[in-house]
């Protein structure tokens, strides 16, 4: 059972042993510990259990936020996009990396917060519990205290050659080191998805039904696939749901895919084109100019959203080197990966911003005020 965190007048024990017992749930209020308290949990490399505390996170020290998702699992965007198991971590509402210490990366990744860096509180306005009076031992047991300068220095990888491009280290690049493998058939993860408040029963049931329908019927290899996809789409149309999300693009593999320039800027309103219209811009592997249209984007087709930003540069999470996009991509406000259809990372709470080609969008008027 999920332990209910109770507040007392005495100081809060933020030791790793105490935090391992605490199970923060969606909607719980927490206060980010002070800079000194957080530094006392880090090794000289600025990490706790392999997870870096990034310089961008210092700005949130001493402030209060609600838990957005419990980060008991995540996806490995460095290697194979499969699920990974993570201990004692959460995501907080609205707290994304602004990339200022990482070359101006524009990916806007949701930040991981180890529970040792947080203090539970009743609400945003509740009195703050007393801080721990003595700093915890350094995370690596060496006795050497991590400093803010260590955290800043850890954001850059060592220079290997004089002419080498700058390389960075962040939470996204370190996911494999901070996590363990998680198999899709490990049922306890889905129990925790529900108990933590990450996923409701309705959404969970819909994804499991889709997985069964796809693997046991559509992909059974008896020639009924197209008919079953048609039935799925008919049912979804009646209930107002998204269409069958696993389709091939309509252009030959390797062909030059079309492009469009709308010069979209933050604050502009757009409508995502229909799934069929987007498929007409992708090759059979669903690529458009080197960018894949993922199944997780299908639920947003036909919706109207506001442009959050244009993306020109992101870190290569495998190497830490900055990548400059040949064609800028678009991030839409509140449009995130929900991990509905990907069995290897089902219900991943990381909520990554997907990138959109401008040819997949069209300008739209702002929605009428209610």
Q: Mark whether 334 and 270 lie in a shared domain.
A: yes
Separation in Å, CA 242 to CA 131, 211, 291, 305? 48, 15, 22, 16
Q: Does residue 367 fall inside a structural domain?
A: yes
> Is residue 2 situated within a structural domain?
no
Residue 278 lies in a domain: yes
Reported as a single tens digit per residue, the pLDDT across 163-197 is 778 999 999 999 999 999 999 999 999 999 999 99
pLDDT at 134 exceeding the cut of 50: no
Instruction: Specify whether 221 is located in the same domain as 277.
Output: no
Residue 323 is part of a domain; what is its CATH number?
A: 2.30.30
Question: What is the pTM (predicted TM-score) of this model?
Answer: 0.88
Distances (CA, A) of 327 to 165, 279, 283, 312: 21, 19, 18, 7
Please state, in angstroms and rounded to a whole number, the distance separating the CA atoms of residues 6 and 58. Answer: 27
Query: What span, in angstroms and rounded, lies between the C-alpha atoms of 9 and 342?
Result: 45
Number of domains in the chain: 3
What is the structure's pLDDT at 8? Answer: 35
Q: Is 332 a domain residue?
A: yes
Q: What range does the domain containing 344 cover?
A: 247-370
Asked whether residue 193 is domain-assigned, the answer is no
pLDDT given at position 220:
83
Asked, for residue 96, whether it belongs to a domain, the answer is: yes
Query: Do residues 29 and 142 both lie within one domain?
Result: yes
How many C-alpha atoms does 331 have within 13 Å on its Cβ side?
A: 19
Structure tokens at 55: 């310089």
Q: Are residues 39 and 92 in the same domain?
A: yes
pLDDT top residue among 6 and 104 = 104
CA torsion sign for 321, 322, 323, 329 is positive
The strand pairing partners of 87, in sequence order, are none
Q: Do 33 and 160 reside in the same domain of the chain? A: yes
How confident is the model at residue 191, as a pLDDT? Answer: 96
**Residue 2 confidence (pLDDT):** 35
Given 181, 208, 233, the domain boundary residue is 181
Tell which of 181, 207, 226 closes a domain. 181
What share of the chain in percent tops pLDDT 70? 89
Query: Are 231 and 328 within one domain?
Result: no
Where do we find the tokens 């915890």? 136
* 239 inside domain: yes
Residue that finishes a domain, picked among 189, 211, 244: 244
User: Do 286 and 207 lie in a common domain?
Assistant: no
Q: Does one domain contain both 162 and 25?
A: yes
Q: In this structure, are 261 and 370 located in the same domain?
A: yes
| d(C-alpha 339, C-alpha 345), whole Å | 6
- Average model confidence (pLDDT) for the chain? 89
Mean pLDDT of 221-247: 92
- Here the tokens at position 101 are 């210490």
Instruction: Tell me the per-residue pLDDT of 236-277, one tens digit each, with 9 for 90 and over.
Output: 999 999 999 999 999 999 899 999 999 999 999 999 999 999
Q: Is residue 4 part of a domain?
A: no
Within this chain, do residues 64 and 137 fall inside the same structural domain, yes or no?
A: yes
Q: Residues 214-251, buried b or exposed e (16+ Cβ, 10 A)?
A: beebbeeeeeeeeebbeebeeeeeeeeebbbbebebeb
The answer on 295 and 217 residing in a single domain is no
Closest listed residue to residue 86, CA positions, set 174, 179, 6, 156: 179
Residues 115 and 24 in one domain: yes
């Amino acid at each position: 059972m999920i332990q209910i965190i109770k507040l007392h007048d005495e100081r809060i024990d933020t030791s790793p042993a105490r935090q391992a017992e605490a199970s923060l749930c969606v909607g719980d209020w927490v206060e980010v510990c002070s800079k000194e308290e957080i530094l006392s949990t880090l090794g000289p490399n600025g990490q706790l259990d392999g997870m870096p505390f990034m310089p961008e996170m210092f700005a949130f020290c001493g402030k209060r936020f609600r838990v957005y998702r419990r980060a008991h699992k995540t996806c490995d965007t460095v290697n194979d996009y499969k699920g990974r198991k993570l201990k004692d971590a959460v995501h907080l509402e609205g707290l994304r990396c602004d990339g200022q210490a990482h070359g101006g990366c524009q990916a806007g990744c949701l930040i991981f917060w180890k529970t040792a860096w947080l203090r539970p509180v009743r609400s945003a306005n509740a009195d703050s519990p007393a801080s721990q009076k003595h700093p915890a031992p350094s995370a690596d047991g060496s006795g050497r205290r991590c400093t803010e300068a260590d955290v800043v220095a850890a954001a850059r990888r060592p220079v290997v050659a004089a002419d080498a491009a700058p390389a960075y280290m962040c939470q996204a690049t370190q996911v494999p080191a901070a996590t363990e493998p998680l198999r899709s058939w490990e049922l306890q993860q889905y129990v925790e998805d529900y108990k933590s408040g990450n996923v409701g029963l309705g959404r969970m049931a819909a994804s499991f039904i889709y997985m069964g329908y796809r693997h046991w019927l559509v992909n059974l290899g008896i020639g009924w696939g197209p008919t079953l996809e048609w039935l799925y789409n008919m049912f979804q149309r009646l209930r107002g749901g998204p269409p069958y999300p696993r389709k091939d693009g309509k252009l030959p593999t390797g062909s030059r895919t079309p492009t469009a320039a709308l010069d979209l800027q933050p604050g502009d309103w757009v409508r995502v084109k229909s799934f069929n219209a987007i498929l007409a811009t992708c090759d059979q592997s669903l690529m458009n100019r080197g960018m894949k249209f993922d199944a997780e984007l299908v639920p947003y087709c036909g919706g109207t959203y506001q442009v959050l930003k244009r993306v020109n540069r992101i870190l290569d999470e495998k190497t830490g080197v900055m990548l400059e996009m040949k064609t800028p991509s678009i991030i839409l406000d509140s449009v995130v990966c929900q991990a509905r259809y990907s069995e290897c990372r089902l219900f991943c709470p990381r909520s990554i911003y997907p990138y959109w080609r401008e040819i997949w969008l069209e300008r739209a008027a702002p929605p009428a005020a209610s």
